[in-house]
Amino acid sequence: MPRLACFDLDNTLIDRDRAFRDWVEWWVRREGLGPEAVDWLHEHDGGGYRPREELFASVKERFGLEADIATLVDAYDREYPVFASIDPAVVPGLASLRTAGWRVAVITNGGVAQQSIKLERTGIAAVVDYCCISEAVGVRKPDPRIFKIAAARTGATVADGWMVGDHPAYDIAGGIAAGLSTILIGNHHPAAATPDRVPTHHFASVLQAFPVILAS
């Protein structure tokens, strides 16, 4: 049975922080807000983990926007993912795993509308076997069931498989609970790195993960 290589999306395959920064610059200018709005949004973003309804409720109140919260969130879901940026070596890296016989899945906590745009625009969707978006399957990382769903959908086994991601709780603890070896990318959430969330490897970039998985 083919083996499974799973990848988180935001701040693993794509540079989420940079995409958010670019969107903030663009949006603040379009809304005609002052430069203080840029700093304010970064402070209140919660690294992307704060619910967007909550974020835009605060934005609306702080800057006196007229649009209702649902409209602001809806526009964000369509406009922000367009700024998704990816290292050009990532797509060939994913493709090389498939060529070597691996089943490749993206496993991301998030909404279908927003994550689908990122996956399509960056070219990731075209080179992986399955994109597992938590909103679509009704399960979120670190619940090990989401990794089992990816295995079932791709016809792979989790035995001797990998999970690669930037979050110690969602990606690393979740992957370990599902029986996968794990690779932590970057240092985005140092406070979440506990002794029971120690990855098999820790690299600065996802590009370093591809040869390690290929050699395993």
In the bound complex, what is the minimum distance in angstroms from residue 6's beta carbon to Mg ion? 12
CA–centroid distance for 41 within its chain: 20
11 binds Mg ion (CB under 5 A): yes
15 binds Mg ion (CB under 5 A): no
Of 18 and 60, CB closest to Mg ion: 18
Rounded to whole angstroms, the Cα distance separating 182 from 66 reads 45
In the list 6, 8, 133, 151, the residue contacting Mg ion (rule: CB under 5 A) is 8
Binding track, positions 120-159, relative to Mg ion; x by CB under 5 A: ----------------------------------------
Q: Retrieve residue 150's tokens.
A: 């990816």
Of 15 and 166, CB closest to Mg ion: 166
Place of tokens 């309804």: 53
By CB under 5 A, which span of 19-27, 97-105, 136-144, 161-169 interacts with Mg ion?
Answer: 161-169
166 binds Mg ion (CB under 5 A): yes
The residue whose Cβ lies closest to Mg ion is 10
By CB under 5 A, which span of 22-30, 135-143, 156-164, 166-174 interacts with Mg ion?
Answer: 166-174
In the bound complex, what is the minimum distance in angstroms from residue 89's beta carbon to Mg ion? 19
In the bound complex, what is the minimum distance in angstroms from residue 178's beta carbon to Mg ion? 16
Rounded to whole angstroms, the Cα distance separating 112 from 93 reads 24
Binding site for Mg ion (CB under 5 A): 8, 10-11, 166
